[in-house]
Structure 1
């Protein structure tokens, strides 16, 4: 960059950062002395504390935004890039948290002290002042202004046809691997998404009719996609943008393991020593009742089977350790504490292992680890504990709970950026962990639905984990959508093109199209298709499908097309939602902030969460993987091949 503007911005941000960090230190010292009022601290759940709106912070945030736009955080030296990301997150917290208003009338009957140190089955009572915040069947929030989420008229909603976008821009011509991660990373994110959110399976009484070209091979006419179930809590006849309900809890509470609601909770338990049901052979025992069997729900496959099995076994191992430490505890107490510990463990693994693996830029690796440990680092944290009240210095867990002035929810935009189906390979080689020999090959359909359980009966679990650990997933780019997922039949008989479904669902949920989405996230829009794609052939395809109108490009299409920062498996646009929501999911959850304490978790539980890695989980339950995992520090990065015997 020959311009002096970036240099001036760099100088400004250095000065601003010094002032802002000084403000943090001053606040921390006053807080430590018990003078929070003198420091201007706000009560929990209030908007960001006042020190964040002082002149040093305004200068810092403004300089961060300028440097991010002119140079890009990813092109800066790591310390300066990290400083810019702190400012970017500050701006996003101030301007990109929007309440969809009016929680449904689901408030629990009243306070219940037994839940002060345990997660409820339906996600209620996490915030004692607003018991329904984040519980199942409450609304998704927004990361863009509410006024920007009005749905387009139906004709515009279907233009260009989602099926045309699927066939012409998404179809996998050849498998493009993401070589920085392994297929366990694919299984993990689906395991997490199953915990975080769902819009349900669609409304069978309401359907979109998708236009098809004359030569389209789709076997049914017309092509239909179920509409998302309407929000029953909305008053009829309103003119506000549509809202939708999350059928899962919004919290990071392990609902993919434990279920949502009391029936889901109880049906998974043995009723003895707090433990969950698992077969004597350490494999899942799926219920015969189709209504309770996860293999009958769209999306179930071998990857979810593996992750669910491992963390059911982890729960039971935690129960054994707690019972040895606290022999007088009953089944309920053991279960609830083990759930709390196990859920926090998945949050830590996701924060400091999965996410740094999938966005492996040096700056983001440091930033994401700092979300949990702070810039002071893991070693110092484990040696002496927190040295500051600041989340920047000592991490978010253990800080005060903070909703930044907006009731906590997951957001529609968050649900869209996690549509990462290109990660799924079409073909799999199942190999032996002991010597790497090929056991069998399989296609994705042969590992999906009820077939997943059949494969675990045939192939040892350690071999399946090894096969996933040594294989590459697909890159999250155009022309890399799994072939099988473009035409498959759900367990209920509904024929689906998941790529077309993802495109239409994004429009239906009122997520702005790509360029407007970027503007609302304080990023430059793409001026031309060539600028967006960086490849003349892809630019020409985009131009044809979107009829020459760059403003009509769908958010998912644009995110798959854009050039990614070094080490990233997904786009910088999606990363802006991650920057904001990765912190917010920790900041708002009292079990990961003010109640992340030995009193609530037990000393044993705190040590379990802080000291266990995904590699530890695998070795605890599948010790035969030890040779394959030798030297592996992050289980989501490719494992070395086991040498032949």
Structure 2
């Protein structure tokens, strides 16, 4: 700790430095020393002498090296016994028998209400709804869509219509009460060798590879792959601003045709092209003798491994819960990795309920840097990415919670998908229901049974929400005739997860088969040491490596924050105690206000005067307001604070011994512009008893507690 002592002595001679700033600098140095002390104890990898790593010395980059064989671009040859498994053009599997109305090919559900009627009753989102009970971030749906475009694509035809009937007087799709309005839908393409008898019902096909093989980045056919390559140094093509290449039509080019569907998806597509090029540069620098093809294939294998690791180690545990996917035991050539119809057409469409109604742009401090864009305006609009870049959207996705996984969809996709109603606009909930009928999916209860679950016998067994029970009963009449997408999303969530029992079963089955049936799975293709390193890949690391974003939580699939403190009795007020530290005051109302001055949460202090807030659905500026009791009644006192990153915990936001910015004001309706002006005048305002809240608090405390008593320094509070 000599470095810390010398710095403190030097600061003591600086006449103008404030005691607070001295304390803060000391705190930062303490954190640095403690963290470096723990690093110093680790030997350098592959160093037989096991010398301690010098402070600040970066570990040498170890480039993972896959086996000599690389996967094909179209998925063929992965399974040596059945080379077509998982490749492009394979038929979707079925876990439950097909349930076409005629047993062959006509739409299922002919005795059910129209898909739009069900959407209106079941899927309308409550205005102002936000957040979810497990603090999932917006990255859950951004990654979910990115991953979906890696593993399945059922293309629509152009000749076979299956229009969705719109209820007369529908306020969006039939405002004139014509009674003849419909939402257009073309049926999916199917294997022409099917659909000619009950014994051979229609089967849809997957146009892309089923494997988690980065096909959304690299393509599923050679022509697409070649069009995206620079053929120099193993790199992929980019455009101005290090964005995706732009085609003649003005849209971005990527491995999947859906890359321009929305700006957040495009941002993630761009990120992984940058990641590929980063690895290509490292590989080329490490061995100048390698050819363009060798560099490209090694970088591609690494990026695919990262996508696989993030999916299984971050994304799936966030959605399904920890420990749900069985442990990996190696490649199994008898496992069929093909996509199940129940998965792609219903189970995995859970992500549509997660969507927020806009896209925002956040800086490293967690504040908005430009106006948000309505999600309805972000579809197939590459100009957003061209103008704003990707960095601020990626920071936003990590810094904002998603909606809950349930049957509700925001208006941007339930009423304005791809345009205004009557002018190209669609309803995604209706499309999901109708697509399930187009594919002849069995009903919810039959699919439960096919996945090894017990059939339900009442609506109360599906959900504990009485209102949803009543809605389902009014729509379907019986639990044995519910559309799969609706029933799966209506289920109560499993403990520790954000999905119902059936959705969990469908996803566990599919992703386990995708992993175990892939001969090139990263844990099978790389050495144990390289696989372990790749398994530690995090999306947070990849973002910070390839953008200007520097302030991210380690697991960007969760967004949460907490603020806590104590309201002390004022010794100068009646009932106050004359002591060096006043007692906590019970029963005081404490409010949490957003940056518009609106109260978003309220609590009361406990018997010790403590309070806590965790209702932070996104980063940004907030205020804590304590209604301090006085002889003349309650007086509001406020403390400003900034939540800049997910996982931040601000403690000791105390009242009763007023800090310098603990100022009374007129309550939650004072003018927002006044508060913004105050913040701009003093960005370094003092918070919580003259100690700036530090997200490193928990780390410092933990590391400090691990030091020997003789070496431990006190952590200042």
Q: TM-score, normalised by structure 2?
A: 0.63
1: distance between equivalents of 2:416 and 2:228?
33
Q: CA deviation at 1:212?
A: 2.7
2: distance between equivalents of 1:594 and 1:619?
25
Q: Please tell me whether the aligned partners of residues 445 and 484 of structure 1 are also in contact (alpha carbons under 8 angstroms).
A: yes
Q: CA deviation at 1:186?
A: 1.0
| 1:635 lines up with 2:591 in the alignment | no
Q: CA deviation at 1:577?
A: 1.5
The equivalent residue for 2:136 is 181
2: distance between equivalents of 1:400 and 1:298?
31
| 1:609 lines up with 2:564 in the alignment | no
1: distance between equivalents of 2:227 and 2:238?
12
The equivalent residue for 1:581 is 510
- Larger fraction in strand: 2
1: distance between equivalents of 2:209 and 2:539?
24
- Residue among 73, 84, 87 paired with 1:121: 73
Q: How does 1:372-383 map to 2 (within 5 A)?
A: none
- Residue among 448, 452, 458 paired with 1:518: 448
Q: How does 1:13-92 map to 2 (within 5 A)?
A: none
1: distance between equivalents of 2:469 and 2:534?
47
2: distance between equivalents of 1:205 and 1:575?
35
Taking CA–CA contacts closer than 8 Å with sequence separation of 6 or more, which of the two structures ends up with the larger relative contact order?
A: 1
Q: How does 1:532-611 map to 2 (within 5 A)?
A: 532-546=462-476, 548-592=477-521, 595-598=524-527, 606=531, 609-611=534-536
2: distance between equivalents of 1:236 and 1:542?
34
The equivalent residue for 1:284 is 244
Q: Secondary structure at the match of 1:266?
A: helix
Q: Please tell me whether the aligned partners of residues 212 and 308 of structure 2 are also in contact (alpha carbons under 8 angstroms).
A: yes
In structure 2, the CA distance between the partners of 1:154 and 1:235, relative to structure 1 (3 Å rule), is: closer
In structure 2, the CA distance between the partners of 1:568 and 1:163, relative to structure 1 (3 Å rule), is: same
In structure 2, the CA distance between the partners of 1:243 and 1:447, relative to structure 1 (3 Å rule), is: same
1:72-114 Cα distance to aligned partner (Å, 9 max, x none) = xxxxxxxxxxxxxxxxxxxxxxxxxxxxxxxxxxxxxxxxxxx
In structure 2, the CA distance between the partners of 1:155 and 1:131, relative to structure 1 (3 Å rule), is: closer
The equivalent residue for 2:323 is 366
In structure 2, the CA distance between the partners of 1:639 and 1:456, relative to structure 1 (3 Å rule), is: farther
Q: Secondary structure at the match of 1:439?
A: strand
1:327-346 Cα distance to aligned partner (Å, 9 max, x none) = 21111111112112211210
In structure 2, the CA distance between the partners of 1:340 and 1:205, relative to structure 1 (3 Å rule), is: same
1:243-270 Cα distance to aligned partner (Å, 9 max, x none) = 1110011111101101110111001101
| 1:431 lines up with 2:362 in the alignment | yes
Q: Please tell me whether the aligned partners of residues 587 and 593 of structure 1 are also in contact (alpha carbons under 8 angstroms).
A: no
Q: CA deviation at 1:606?
A: 4.4
| 1:160 lines up with 2:113 in the alignment | yes
Q: CA deviation at 1:411?
A: 1.0
Gaps of 5+ in 1: 1-114, 372-391
Q: CA deviation at 1:580?
A: 1.8
The equivalent residue for 2:707 is none
In structure 2, the CA distance between the partners of 1:441 and 1:586, relative to structure 1 (3 Å rule), is: same
2: distance between equivalents of 1:594 and 1:634?
22
In structure 2, the CA distance between the partners of 1:435 and 1:197, relative to structure 1 (3 Å rule), is: closer
Q: Please tell me whether the aligned partners of residues 158 and 211 of structure 1 are also in contact (alpha carbons under 8 angstroms).
A: no
- Residue among 438, 453, 461 paired with 1:531: 461
In structure 2, the CA distance between the partners of 1:282 and 1:589, relative to structure 1 (3 Å rule), is: same
The equivalent residue for 1:133 is 85
The equivalent residue for 1:301 is 262
Q: Please tell me whether the aligned partners of residues 310 and 618 of structure 1 are also in contact (alpha carbons under 8 angstroms).
A: yes
Q: CA deviation at 1:309?
A: 1.0
Q: Please tell me whether the aligned partners of residues 426 and 483 of structure 1 are also in contact (alpha carbons under 8 angstroms).
A: yes
2: distance between equivalents of 1:317 and 1:350?
21
The equivalent residue for 1:203 is 157
- Residue among 172, 178, 192 paired with 2:125: 172
In structure 2, the CA distance between the partners of 1:481 and 1:143, relative to structure 1 (3 Å rule), is: farther
In structure 2, the CA distance between the partners of 1:493 and 1:238, relative to structure 1 (3 Å rule), is: farther
Q: Secondary structure at the match of 2:525?
A: coil
1:37-77 Cα distance to aligned partner (Å, 9 max, x none) = xxxxxxxxxxxxxxxxxxxxxxxxxxxxxxxxxxxxxxxxx
Q: Please tell me whether the aligned partners of residues 324 and 508 of structure 2 are also in contact (alpha carbons under 8 angstroms).
A: no
In structure 2, the CA distance between the partners of 1:463 and 1:224, relative to structure 1 (3 Å rule), is: closer
Q: CA deviation at 1:286?
A: 2.3
2: distance between equivalents of 1:155 and 1:135?
28
In structure 2, the CA distance between the partners of 1:493 and 1:339, relative to structure 1 (3 Å rule), is: farther
Gaps of 5+ in 2: 1-66, 175-179, 562-618, 620-642, 645-678, 684-717
The equivalent residue for 2:307 is 346
Q: Please tell me whether the aligned partners of residues 199 and 247 of structure 1 are also in contact (alpha carbons under 8 angstroms).
A: yes
In structure 2, the CA distance between the partners of 1:310 and 1:607, relative to structure 1 (3 Å rule), is: farther
* Greater Cα radius of gyration, structure 1 or 2: 2
Q: How does 1:206-355 map to 2 (within 5 A)?
A: 206-217=160-171, 218-219=173-174, 221-234=181-194, 236=196, 239-289=199-249, 293=253, 297=258, 300-355=261-316
In structure 2, the CA distance between the partners of 1:258 and 1:423, relative to structure 1 (3 Å rule), is: same
Q: CA deviation at 1:273?
A: 0.9
| 1:625 lines up with 2:577 in the alignment | no
In structure 2, the CA distance between the partners of 1:154 and 1:316, relative to structure 1 (3 Å rule), is: closer
2: distance between equivalents of 1:143 and 1:205?
28
2: distance between equivalents of 1:357 and 1:123?
28
Q: Secondary structure at the match of 2:323?
A: helix
The equivalent residue for 2:377 is 446
1: distance between equivalents of 2:446 and 2:305?
35
In structure 2, the CA distance between the partners of 1:577 and 1:151, relative to structure 1 (3 Å rule), is: farther
Q: CA deviation at 1:139?
A: 0.9
Q: Please tell me whether the aligned partners of residues 136 and 250 of structure 1 are also in contact (alpha carbons under 8 angstroms).
A: yes
In structure 2, the CA distance between the partners of 1:286 and 1:298, relative to structure 1 (3 Å rule), is: closer
1: distance between equivalents of 2:225 and 2:147?
18
1: distance between equivalents of 2:218 and 2:533?
19
The equivalent residue for 1:51 is none
2: distance between equivalents of 1:509 and 1:299?
26
Q: CA deviation at 1:454?
A: 2.3
Q: Please tell me whether the aligned partners of residues 194 and 201 of structure 2 are also in contact (alpha carbons under 8 angstroms).
A: no
Q: Please tell me whether the aligned partners of residues 105 and 202 of structure 2 are also in contact (alpha carbons under 8 angstroms).
A: no
Q: How does 1:346-495 map to 2 (within 5 A)?
A: 346-360=307-321, 365-368=322-325, 371=326, 392=327, 395-396=328-329, 399-404=330-335, 407-415=336-344, 416-420=346-350, 421-434=352-365, 436-450=367-381, 453-489=382-418, 494-495=424-425
Q: Secondary structure at the match of 1:366?
A: coil
- Larger fraction in helix: 1
Aligned residues: 488
Q: Please tell me whether the aligned partners of residues 140 and 245 of structure 1 are also in contact (alpha carbons under 8 angstroms).
A: yes
In structure 2, the CA distance between the partners of 1:298 and 1:224, relative to structure 1 (3 Å rule), is: farther
Q: Secondary structure at the match of 2:349?
A: coil
2: distance between equivalents of 1:427 and 1:567?
28
In terms of mean alpha carbon deviation, does 190-199 or 533-542 score higher? 533-542
Q: CA deviation at 1:142?
A: 2.0
Q: TM-score, normalised by structure 1?
A: 0.70
Q: Secondary structure at the match of 1:337?
A: helix
1:617-644 Cα distance to aligned partner (Å, 9 max, x none) = 011112x433x22xx2312111653558
1: distance between equivalents of 2:423 and 2:77?
38
Q: CA deviation at 1:490?
A: 6.9
